[in-house]
Structure 1
Amino acid sequence: MLVYLAKRLAYTVPIVFSVALVCFMLVHLSPGDPLISILPADASVELEQRLRIQYGFDRPLPVQFWIWISNALSGDLGASIANGRPVLSEVLQAVRNTLLLACTAAVLGFALGMFFGLVAGYFRDSWIDKLATSIAIAGVSVPHYWLGMVLVIIFSVQLNWLPAVGAGPGNWSWTWTHLQYLVLPAVTMAVIPMGIITRTVRALVGDILSNDFVDALRAKGLGEGRVFLHVIKNAAPTAIAVMGLQLGYLLGGSILIETVFSWPGTGFLLNTAIFQRDLPLLQGTILVLALFFVFLNLFVDMLQAMIDPRIKRG
C-alpha cells in the first residue's frame, strides 16, 4: 500500500505543476488589461506604469510565472487588484462556503442516486426501474441554473417559504435561519450528480447480478441481504470513482448556481474576478479549485485501493 501511495504521489507532482502552468497561461492569454478596473479614465501614463510595475505586469510571462508559483508555494497568492485584500484570505473564505454547499449537495445527491440506482438495478425492466431511470434522465437533462431560477420563483417569490439569495446574516452557523439559505442551492446542485450516480449504479448492479457468482451465492443458501452486501462491495470501487469526480465537479463547477443564488463561494468569486479582470484573484481561485480536484482524485484512488486489493496489484 505504501509503494502504491508513493507512486500516486509521484504522479501528482507533475500534474500539479502542469495545472498551475495552464491556469497561469489561460488567465494571461485572455484579452483585456487587468489594470482597467482600478485606473481612472483620465489616468496618466506615469500612474499606469507605476501600477504595472507594482503588480509585476511589466515583466516577461516566464518571470511572472516563476514569481507567482514561488510565492504560491509559500502560501502567498498576491493581493486582489480590485480591493487590495490578500487573495488567499478571499479564496479560503469562498472555499469554506463552497465546501458547505457542495458537500451538502453531494450527500443529498449521492444518497438519492445510490437509492434509485440500487432499486432500478434490482428491479430491472420493471415500472420501478422505468420510474427511477426517468428521474435520473430528468436530473441530468435539466439545466441546473434554469432549475434554480424556477425553484426561486416557486418557493421564494410565490410561496415565500425560503430566501432567494445569499448565505444568511453574519457568520454561518447550523441554525434554521442559515439552513433556509442552503436548501434551494443545495437541492439545485444535487440534481445532476443524483442522475449520474443513479444511472451508473443501475448499470453496475444489473451487470453484477448477471454474473455467475451471484447465482452461486444464492445456491449456497445465502439470503438476499447477504447477496446485496456482495453486490455493493463489487460495485463500490466504480461508484466511489464516479462520486469522487462528481464531488470535484461540484466544487469547481458551481459558478452558475452560486451566481443565481448569490452564494458567496468560489463560483461567485470567480464570476466577480472575471468581470473585474482581477488577475491575481482569478489565478488564485482557479489554482485552489484545481488542486482540490487533483488531491480529491488522489484520495479516491487510495480509497479504491483499500476497498479492492486488485487495484494495487494492477
Structure 2
Amino acid sequence: MTYVLRRILTTVPVLFLVTVMVFLLIHLIPGNPAQVILGQDATPSSIRALTVQLGLNKPMPVQYADWLGKVLHGNLGKSLLDGQPVNQIIAQRLPVTVELAFLTLFVALVIAFPLGIMAAVFRGKWQDAVAMFSATIGIAVPPFWVGILFLLLFTVRIHLFPSSGYAPLWVSPLKNLSVMVLPAVATGIREAAVLLRMLRASLLDVLDQDFIRTARAKGMSGYRIIMHHALKNALIPVITMGGLQVAGLLGGLVITETIFSLPGLGSLLVQSVFSRDYTTVQGTALVAAVAVVLVNVAVDVLYSLADPRIQLGGRAT
C-alpha cells in the first residue's frame, strides 16, 4: 500500500503537465472561440459578451488558474452547447469506453495466449507459421475495416447482431453484450496480434534458460514446464504491452465507437471538436489522460503479482 501511494504521488507532476498541455492545445487554436461558437453571422457585441462569459478576455495564466482550480474541486465546467455539466456528460460516456476497452483486451488475451504458446512450443513448425501468419494479418488489417466488414456481414446480411441501441450492462446484460461483441472483436483482433508476437518472443527467450533445461532433465512434463514455469516468467513484457494497449484504448477508440454508434468518450470527443464545445473537449481529454496515468500505475503493481522476485519497493530478492 505504501508503494502504491508513493507511486500515485509521483504521478502528480505528470498530471500537472497534462493539465497544462490540455489547456494550451485548446487555447492555441487560431481564432476566437467565441466567434467560432456563434458563427460567421454573429455581431461584435454578442462575440464580446460570450468572450467575457467564457473568461476569454482574461490573461492566459489567469484563465488556466481559474480552470485548474475548478478541476481540483471536481468541476470540469459546463458544455457550451446545452449548459449540461461536463462531469455528468463524461460520467454517462466513460463506462462505455471502459467496458469496450476491457472487452477488447479480453478478446485479445483469449486469442493471443493459445496461439502465442503454440507458436513458441512448436517453433519453426507449421503451427508456428500459422500463428505468425495470423498475427501478421491482424496487424496489417485496420480495425475500422474489420468493423465495417463485421457490420455488413453480421448486421446487414445475417441480422445476427444489432448495429446500434447500446444499453448499460447493469440494465440489460444480454442487449449490452449483443451490441459490444462486434466492436470488441473488431478491435481485439489487432491487439491480439501484437500480444501474440510479444508472448511468443518472451516465451522463446525463457524456454532457452538453464532452469527450463533442468526441469526437462528431471523429467517434468512439457505442460507443467510451460504453464507453471516458462509462462509465469514470460509475463512481464506481456503485462507491459497489455497495459499500454488498455491505456491506448481508453483514449483511442474514436473510430470504433463512431462506426458502431457507441456513446463513449471517443465519439463524445469527436462530436465536441466538430461542434467547437471547448469545455467538453478539455474535460474529455483530461479524463482520458488521467486514465492512462492510472493504468500505468496499475501495471507497475501487477509486475509484483506476476513475478514475486520483483518487489514493489524496486528491489529484487
Quick check: TM above 0.5? yes
Report the counterpart of residue 225 of structure 1 in structure 2.
223
Distance 1:249 1:166, change over 3 A: farther
Residue by residue over 1:290-311, the C-alpha shift from the partner in whole angstroms, topping out at 9 and shown as x without a partner, is: 0000011011101113433335
Q: When the two structures are superposed, what TM-score results if normalisation uses the length of structure 2? A: 0.92
1:163 counterpart letter in structure 2: P
Report the counterpart of residue 129 of structure 2 in structure 1.
130
C-alpha displacement at 1:226, in angstroms? 2.6
Report the counterpart of residue 310 of structure 1 in structure 2.
310
More displaced, 38-47 or 153-162?
38-47
More displaced, 111-120 or 264-273?
111-120
SS at match of 1:18: helix
Report the counterpart of residue 180 of structure 1 in structure 2.
178
C-alpha displacement at 1:225, in angstroms? 3.0
Distance 1:13 1:165, change over 3 A: same
User: Aligned to 2:191, which of 178, 190, 193?
Assistant: 193
More displaced, 190-199 or 151-160?
151-160
Residue by residue over 1:41-93, the C-alpha shift from the partner in whole angstroms, topping out at 9 and shown as x without a partner, is: 54332222121111111112211111111111111000011121001111121
Contact persistence 1:19–1:287 (CA under 8 A) = yes
* Alignment of 1:82 onto 2:81: yes
Contact persistence 2:258–2:267 (CA under 8 A) = yes
Alignment partners' CA distance in 1, 2:172 and 2:117: 31
Contact persistence 1:156–1:162 (CA under 8 A) = yes
C-alpha displacement at 1:272, in angstroms? 0.3
C-alpha displacement at 1:259, in angstroms? 1.0
Work out the percentage of aligned pairs sharing the same amino acid. 36
Report the counterpart of residue 21 of structure 2 in structure 1.
22
C-alpha displacement at 1:39, in angstroms? 2.0
1:310 counterpart letter in structure 2: I
C-alpha displacement at 1:126, in angstroms? 1.1
More displaced, 300-309 or 80-89?
300-309
C-alpha displacement at 1:36, in angstroms? 4.3
Alignment partners' CA distance in 1, 2:268 and 2:171: 21
Q: Which runs of no fewer than 5 residues in structure 2 stay unpaired?
A: none
Distance 1:71 1:107, change over 3 A: same
C-alpha displacement at 1:172, in angstroms? 5.9
Q: Which runs of no fewer than 5 residues in structure 1 stay unpaired?
A: none
More displaced, 263-272 or 4-13?
4-13
* Alignment of 1:212 onto 2:214: no
Report the counterpart of residue 258 of structure 1 in structure 2.
257
Q: Report the number of matched residues.
A: 312
Report the counterpart of residue 150 of structure 2 in structure 1.
151
Report the counterpart of residue 100 of structure 1 in structure 2.
99
* Structure 1 stretches of 4+ moved >4 Å: none
* Alignment of 1:275 onto 2:277: no
SS at match of 1:270: helix
Report the counterpart of residue 53 of structure 2 in structure 1.
54
2:310 counterpart letter in structure 1: R
1:243 counterpart letter in structure 2: G
Alignment partners' CA distance in 2, 1:55 and 1:166: 35
Alignment partners' CA distance in 1, 2:35 and 2:275: 9
Distance 1:276 1:33, change over 3 A: farther
1:104-123 equivalence runs, <5 A: 104-123=103-122
Alignment partners' CA distance in 2, 1:113 and 1:268: 28
**RMSD over aligned Cα, in angstroms?**
1.9
2:120 counterpart letter in structure 1: G
Report the counterpart of residue 293 of structure 2 in structure 1.
294
C-alpha displacement at 1:34, in angstroms? 2.8
Report the counterpart of residue 167 of structure 1 in structure 2.
166
C-alpha displacement at 1:174, in angstroms? 4.0
Report the counterpart of residue 64 of structure 1 in structure 2.
63
Alignment partners' CA distance in 1, 2:244 and 2:181: 23
Contact persistence 1:98–1:265 (CA under 8 A) = yes
Contact persistence 1:165–1:262 (CA under 8 A) = yes
Contact persistence 2:35–2:42 (CA under 8 A) = no
Report the counterpart of residue 239 of structure 1 in structure 2.
238
Residue by residue over 1:195-253, the C-alpha shift from the partner in whole angstroms, topping out at 9 and shown as x without a partner, is: 11100001011111111210111112322233121111101222111111111111111
Alignment partners' CA distance in 2, 1:56 and 1:223: 70
SS at match of 1:289: helix
More displaced, 63-72 or 4-13?
4-13
